[in-house]
Amino acid sequence: MNTNTPTPSRKLTLDDIADLRAYERERPDFRAHVIEVKRRRRVAIGEMLTIMFENRDTMRLQIQEMIRAEKLVTDEGVMEELKVYNPMIPMPGQLCATLFLELTSEDQVREWLPKLAGLEDSICIQLSDGSKIRGSIDAQHAEGLTRPDVTAAVHYLTFDFTEKQIEQFAFGPVSVLCDLQNYLEVASFSDETREELLTDLRP
């Protein structure tokens, strides 16, 4: 028996993306499914940050909704969307996340975007043994979102785990923290979220 069989890619291809008419037929059920998936994958970090751990379904919804909004009908147009969003589908040993800064007023924006400069380098997942896995900025989005004196409202992060760290993650408990001096916050994962994210980390 060959134990070195490569893990199939989780990335989306053209064949995974429904055309506009087909997507309209499946859209209500698929959106309801992904809303429930996102509920298990969303964690609030304090009052102003939310982290959403992405997977194949959340990214397929994002792509399908972009295609629907822009009425894309060509393979070339769909391929551009795949190029943008496929990096946010985690491979085994990874978690990929979208970090949202929840600011609801212009005053908050003016106050907090400068205060939180460097936020994208300040998010860690902490395991029960005290070890931390720090998020790295998705290279494709870094140039447009990273500034030395101000942060962006959205960031895309990847967390890379060793096999030992994955097993420690499974053992629990797990938390996500921000160690930026101006926003020191920590949030524990529920058992439901931890179990959900193990489906990303394990083959």
DSSP states of 9-42: P----GGGS--HHHHHHHHHHHHHHHHHHHHHHE
Beta bridge partners of residue 156, listed in sequence order: 98
Pairwise CA distance, residues 159 & 94, whole Å: 6
What average pLDDT does range 44-71 have in this prediction? Answer: 97
Cβ atoms of residues 155 and 137 within 8 Å = yes
The distance of Cα 118 from the centroid of its chain, to the nearest Å, equals 18
In this prediction, residue 130 has a pLDDT band, given cuts at 50, 70 and 90, of very high
Give the percent of the chain with pLDDT over 70: 91
What confidence score (pLDDT) does residue 149 get? 80
What average pLDDT does range 171-183 have in this prediction? Answer: 95
Q: Give the lowest-confidence range in 22-26, 77-81, 102-106, 187-191.
A: 102-106
- Position 151 pLDDT exceeds 80: yes
Cβ-in-10-Å burial (0-12, 13-18, 19+) of 189 comes to buried
- Position 186 pLDDT exceeds 60: yes
pTM of the predicted model, to two decimals? 0.91
Pairwise CA distance, residues 108 & 143, whole Å: 24
What average pLDDT does range 59-88 have in this prediction? Answer: 95
Pairwise CA distance, residues 118 & 141, whole Å: 15
Instruction: Name the nearest CA neighbour of 148 among 106, 111, 185, 120.
Output: 120
Cβ atoms of residues 112 and 85 within 8 Å = no
* pLDDT tens column, 166-175: 999 999 899 9
What confidence score (pLDDT) does residue 1 get? 36
Phi, psi for residue 115 in degrees, rounded to 5: -60, -30
What average pLDDT does range 114-129 have in this prediction? Answer: 94
Q: Give Cβ neighbours of residue 112 (< 8 Å, ≥ 6 apart).
A: 48, 101, 103
Cβ-in-10-Å burial (0-12, 13-18, 19+) of 81 comes to buried
Domain boundaries, the chain: 16-201
Instruction: Name the nearest CA neighbour of 187 among 59, 53, 87.
Output: 53
Pairwise CA distance, residues 37 & 55, whole Å: 9
What confidence score (pLDDT) does residue 2 get? 40
Tell me the torsion sign for CA atoms 146, 150, 153, 157: positive
